[in-house]
Amino acid sequence: MSPRVGILLVNLGTPDSAKPRAVKRYLTQFLTDGRVIDIPFFLRQLLVRGVIIPKRYRNSAKLYQAIWKPEGSPLKIYSYELKDKLQEALGNSFQVELAMRYQTPSIETGLENLRSCQKIVLIPLFPQYASATTGSVYQEVFRILQTWEVIPSLVCMDGFATHEEVIHAFCQAARQYDLAQYDHFLFSYHGLPERQVQKADRCHHCLKTPNCCQELTDKNRTCYAAQCVATTAAICRQLKLPQEAVSHCYQSRLGKDPWIQPYASNVLEKLAKEGKKKILVFSPAFVADCLETLQEIGIEYQAEFKQWGGEKLDLVEGLNARPEWVSALKSIILTQLPSKERNECTRSPNI
């Protein structure tokens, strides 16, 4: 008997290898997505294929090579481990598949593997909703499903920025460190162009009112920056981090257009010049360690901080396949299902 409920976990993606050709292929697919670089099609193709890719792909390949493991991409390794552990936690009434928005395994392959399921729960693995991440995953899933003769019931998760069990998982990852030895805590999130944040604003107040992102409300619940601030606040409350010892920033800019601020490098330089010596960095926009955490934070940020006078910069590892993260995902899935499927799952072996 086929499982009644299919679970499709979707992460951003990764090159199939760290060789320049594979990195070029990945970056091309990623950056030509109209939700990632949201400019007209012709200009986007010209910019990406004619300017960005030729300038960046070889250097990007070197960065991937610095974090690549013998088994392959860290993001893919951790994502498969998560898939396997979640399958074990949910039991045989569910079928868990993994997909990447860009490159392999593709969303189309993941959906095809779930075609016999009566219901599919779609979980983009991005805690905070953004058009460039979760929105792009939705668009690709809908594009594929519209070609199916029989479309299954579909449940879409649009983020879990302040979900209690997810916050607990982030905190448990942080508790591996002696928090008392650090004199500052930095929360670094992937950046977005300001125009993309404003385009998601349904109430026409984004970046127009003072401190508009400091509290998550019905007005700004679709605001990526407000969701990030809410995640930071939730983790700080649970860990009891003093407000004066916490900073919030955004990393990974591309291009010359203004992105949401403050920028990570600027914050790090300011902290070093203020005499902060030991910093612990959280990166709660990423649930699996990847180029942006392992290389950009773990290598680049660390070197910059020491250059500016700091002594130590540590990175809280991603959730990867931690038991608390598996448990949180199981809880998220069960709350989306009627009691019949929930009861079936609770009879399955637990983690």
Q: Are 114 and 6 in contact (CB under 8 A)?
A: yes
Q: d(Cα 61, Cα 18) in Å, to the nearest integer?
A: 6
Q: CA 20, CA 59: separation in Å to the nearest integer?
A: 8
The answer to whether 190 is annotated as binding is: yes
Provide the token pair at 281: 């960095």
**Is residue 97 a known part of a binding site?**
no
- Residues sharing a CB contact under 8 Å with residue 152, sequence separation 6 or more, in sequence order: 6, 114, 115, 117, 118, 119, 120
| Spatial strand order in the sheet of 5-13 | 94-102, 5-13, 119-124, 153-156
Q: How many residues does the chain have?
A: 351
Residues in CB range of 315: below 8 A, 6 or more apart: 280, 281, 283, 293, 294, 297, 298
For the chain, the straight-line distance linking the first and the last C-alpha, in angstroms and rounded, comes to 24
User: For tokens 């010596």, what's the residue?
Assistant: 277
Residue set of the binding site? 190, 292
Residue set of the binding site for Fe(2+)? 190, 292
